């Protein structure tokens, strides 16, 4: 069904399949980071917040792509602006620790506070 929806241009289907490839969904799909990232990019280009978030994680970790922390921060920020509260927490964390951006605890606090207001809390 997802492949059918993807062939119809459904960005959420691209996101779902992309995450299955990233994590492996045995027995249906074997883990394939390259294909997973490709599908996440399709969904991210369509503005799917969860896809932007997961693609940011890939860039932050270097999973299926060349590690690029600045690109990760940009993708987290876009996901956050599209409503993904957890992404705002990640932007704050990146500023707090200086991952991909200059360390700035004041900017970090703005993002962390907003994420908390939206319900994103630390586990």
Q: How far is CA 3 from CA 13, 33, 54, 88, 105, in A?
A: 7, 17, 20, 31, 44
Q: Return per-residue pLDDT of the chain as tens, 123 residues.
A: 777 777 778 899 999 999 999 998 777 788 999 999 999 999 999 999 999 999 999 999 999 999 999 999 999 999 999 999 999 999 999 999 999 999 999 999 999 999 999 998 664
Residue 27 confidence (pLDDT): 77
Give, in words, the CATH class of 2-117: mainly alpha
pTM, to two decimals: 0.91
Domain ranges (residues) in the chain: 2-117
Q: What are the residues facing 25 on neighbouring strands?
A: 29
Residue 123 confidence (pLDDT): 44
């Amino acid at each position: 069904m997802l492949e059918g929806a993807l062939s119809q241009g459904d960005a959420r289907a691209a996101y779902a399949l992309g995450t299955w490839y990233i994590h492996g969904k045995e027995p249906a799909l074997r883990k394939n980071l390259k294909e997973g990232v490709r599908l996440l990019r399709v969904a991210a280009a369509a503005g799917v917040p969860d896809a932007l978030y997961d693609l940011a994680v890939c860039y932050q970790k270097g999973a299926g792509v060349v590690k690029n922390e600045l690109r990760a921060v940009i993708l987290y920020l876009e996901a956050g602006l599209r409503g993904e509260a957890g992404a705002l927490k990640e932007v704050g964390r990146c500023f707090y620790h200086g991952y991909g951006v200059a360390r700035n605890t004041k900017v970090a606090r703005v993002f962390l506070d907003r994420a908390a207001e939206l319900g994103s809390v630390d586990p």
